[in-house]
Amino acid sequence: MRIAIASDHAAVDLKAELREHLIEQGHEVADLGPDTADRVDYPDFGYKLAAVVADGTAERGVALCGSGIGISMAVNRNPACRCALVSEPLSAALSREHNDANCIAMGARLTGPDMAKACLDAFLSTDFGGGRHAGRVEKLSNPS
């Protein structure tokens, strides 16, 4: 799977761990930055991640910041993106099964590396359930 990953300065270390985890699993990973822990603004990286998911360059996105809240808000500004902020594997799986999330967000200051990997694995291994959820998901990108 083609996966893009981006963070702010607070999540650079977690981003590096998750990038390696994804590569070890055989995924093609685009690291959208940043490369250092120098201060950056999370919206810039959230928008960059959303753009590559929206245009199909990446099939899924992983967005990280200190809490996960700010960068998830930035990603969700793009109507083609459905970014779920998660902190444990069940919510990660449900974000795919019920909401067809194409991006996941986590907070490096709130979620440790092992839990983040478990969330990411659940997110990537769960398919969208469709059915009764499909119409609701359609409304997320096309409100009436």
pTM greater than the 0.85 cutoff: yes
Average pLDDT of the residues in 47-70: 98
136 is in an annotated binding site: yes
DSSP code string of 37-95:
SS---HHHHHHHHHHHHHTTS-SEEEEEESSSHHHHHHHTTSTT--EEE-SSHHHHHHH
109 is in an annotated binding site: yes
Catalytic residue list contains 133: no
- What span, in angstroms and rounded, lies between the C-alpha atoms of 111 and 129? 27
78 is in an annotated binding site: no
68 is in an annotated binding site: yes
- What span, in angstroms and rounded, lies between the C-alpha atoms of 16 and 55? 24
Note the pLDDT tens digit of each residue in 78-128: 999 999 999 999 999 999 999 999 999 999 999 999 999 999 999 999 999
Domain boundaries, position 77:
2-141
Catalytic residue list contains 65: yes
pLDDT category at 144 given cuts 50, 70, 90 is low
CATH code, domain with 43 = 3.40.1400.10
Catalytic residue among 27, 65, 103, 133: 65
* SS3 of 4-23: EEEECHHHHHHHHHHHHHHH
Q: How many domains does the chain have?
A: 1
Catalytic residue among 21, 27, 98, 133: 98
